Each structure stands twice: as structure tokens, then as C-alpha cells.
Amino acid sequence: MPQIPRLEPNTPIEQMTQALDEAGCLVITNAFESELRGRVAQAMRPHLDSLPAEWIDADDPEAFYPGKTRRAIAIVERAEAAWPLICHPISTALCQHHLGPQCEQPQLHVTGALEVAPGARAQCLHREEDLFPFFPVPRPNLILASMWAVTEFTADNGGTLLVPGSHRWPTERKTKPEEIVAAEMPAGSVLYWLGGTLHGAGANVSRNRRFGLILTYSVGWLRQEENQSLSITPQTVGRLPNELKALVGREPHGGLGFFDPRVIPAD
Ligand SMILES: O=C(O)CCC(=O)C(=O)O
């Protein structure tokens, strides 16, 4: 039975990178506290609650997100409480190891609050790197994803399903049911997976909502999946710590992405 490795935050980083390299996924328990989880959830609540009902209730079997899944992006703008998670030292170290050799500086790729409500079906298994099919596999890591468990994740409530080891599979290899594992983790844990690892939200057959914060990173020269330039106002850019400012793309990557700051000045 394949397994998702599980480590504590004080584990040496070399052990974390090795586990992630081997399994393509990794859970770190006790990564963020209840008070911070509450502030992230509170900041995102109005954005999740104001989504049109017809977006949430309809379940188009072809849609990437199943019905009864609420998704709100633009976390940098909407949830300042999440800034320390985006720049978390473990994420930074894992990005440096898994993405650093392929670029000058990793960048923020996607941010979102993902709430899976009772009755949601499972999401189709996919790879974050499916949007970049231009290289033969195995390809170098382009993306590192994280899912911060604001609530508990269980096999019943939509906990993320992963296929450990699938980051090393040839494209045509099909997943067998016994190769799929739910990332069961207490609230306050964080799940990491590589851009080549098959995964998707599980079905929610429980009575509770599953709430997670997805934060993904990519090599700094790739087109960001979420357009951070249009997701963050100049007022917020002006308040970002330098590390986060660089992550969202306000620092050029080598010769790429230059701009004249007088055109849209950060407040
Ligand atoms: O909600 C989850 O557990 C997974 C979400 C996901 O795979 C995605 O948004 O790409």
C-alpha cells in the first residue's frame, strides 16, 4: 500500500526534501496554529460565502472543480494572515531545493481557499504540470504545491487524494485504485506535492466542510497560473514584505518581467 510520508516541522530539511523527492508528496504536521487558522478562515469567509449559488450547486462532470466546492483566489490581497504561510521557511527551503536549480528565483503560482462541502464528488486526478505539456517526461520540477489544512482532512471529508510515486511515471501509465491514498491530516498540517504528482480533492461523504488553503510555487520564468499582477492592488503591493513582493513578481527574474514602477506605483 503506497504511503504519504509524514514528518514534524523540526525534522532536518534534507529529510523532508528526500521524502518529497521519493514519494512526490509529504505531510508536515503541527505546521501552523489554531489562532492563525482562525484568522485565515475569517478573512476568506466573505469571499467564499458571496460566490453565486449557481456556480457551487451545478455539478458539470467535465468541470475541473466538482459542485459543492467553493474556491476563492487572490489570497495575498484578501488574507494578510496568510502571508507568513506563503513565505513559510519550510516552503522556502523546499522551493529552493526542488525548484531552485531550474531558475534564479521561484515565484508564487496559485493561491486559493478551497472548501469542499458534504456531497461533493471526487475531483479528477491531475498533475499541476498538466498545463505545461511542452517537455517530455520525466521533466525537471516546475511546480511545488502546498495545501494548508485549516480544518482536519480525512478520507471522508474530501481530504486530498494523492498517488505517491506518480511524479516518476511515464505519461501513459494509468492509476490503479489501490495506488490512491487520502492525505489524512489534523488541522494545522501542511501537505506538499510536486508538480508531477497525480492528485485531486476527495469526495466529501461526511457532514463537515473541509477547508484548505492551496499555495503553489513555480520556477520564476514560467507564466503564473494565477495572474498575481491583477490579483493584488498597488495599495497591498506597497505593504508587502520584500520576500513576498519578489515572490508575487514585483522583482524581475533575470532579464524577464522588467517594468517602470512609475506606471503603476506601489502605494
Ligand atoms: O482541494 C484539493 O484537495 C485539491 C485541489 C487541487 O488539486 C487543485 O486545485 O489543483
Q: Residue 55 has what pLDDT?
A: 80
Q: Which residue's alpha carbon is at the smallest distance from atom 1 of ligand 1? A: 201
Decide if pLDDT at 243 tops 90: yes
Decide if pLDDT at 220 tops 90: yes
Grade residue 61 by pLDDT with cuts at 50, 70 and 90: confident
Which residue out of 160, 194, 211, 226 has the highest number of ligand 1 atoms within 8 Å of its CB and is therefore the one to mutate?
Answer: 160
How many angstroms separate the alpha carbon of residue 66 from the centre of ligand 1? Answer: 10
For the stretch 176-209, pLDDT in tens is: 999 999 999 999 999 999 999 999 999 999 999 9
Grade residue 54 by pLDDT with cuts at 50, 70 and 90: confident
CB crowding 142-166: b at 16 or more within 10 Å, else e: bbbbbbbbbbbbbebbbbbbbbbeb
User: Can you tell me the distance from the alpha carbon of 186 to that of 133, in angstroms, rounded to the nearest whole number?
Assistant: 34
How many angstroms separate the alpha carbon of residue 108 from the centre of ligand 1? Answer: 16
Average pLDDT over residues 162-173: 95
pTM: 0.97
User: Can you tell me the distance from the alpha carbon of 163 to that of 57, in angstroms, rounded to the nearest whole number?
Assistant: 28
Distances in whole angstroms, Cα of residue 113 to Cα of each of 13, 98, 188:
27, 24, 15
User: Can you tell me the distance from the alpha carbon of 92 to that of 71, in angstroms, rounded to the nearest whole number?
Assistant: 25
Distances in whole angstroms, Cα of residue 60 to Cα of each of 65, 112, 118, 120, 121:
9, 21, 17, 12, 11
C-alpha cell at 52: 453565486
User: What are the residue boundaries of the structural domains of the chain, listed by start?
Assistant: 6-248
What is 6-248's CATH number?
2.60.120.620
How many angstroms separate the alpha carbon of residue 214 from the centre of ligand 1? Answer: 7
Average pLDDT over residues 73-77: 98
Distances in whole angstroms, Cα of residue 90 to Cα of each of 12, 18, 71, 96:
10, 14, 25, 10
Which residue out of 214, 215, 216, 225 has the highest number of ligand 1 atoms within 8 Å of its CB and is therefore the one to mutate?
Answer: 214
Which residue out of 4, 65, 114 has the highest number of ligand 1 atoms within 8 Å of its CB and is therefore the one to mutate?
Answer: 114
Decide if pLDDT at 89 tops 90: yes
- Contact status, residue 146 vs residue 188, Cβ threshold 8 Å: no
Grade residue 231 by pLDDT with cuts at 50, 70 and 90: very high
Decide if pLDDT at 63 tops 90: no
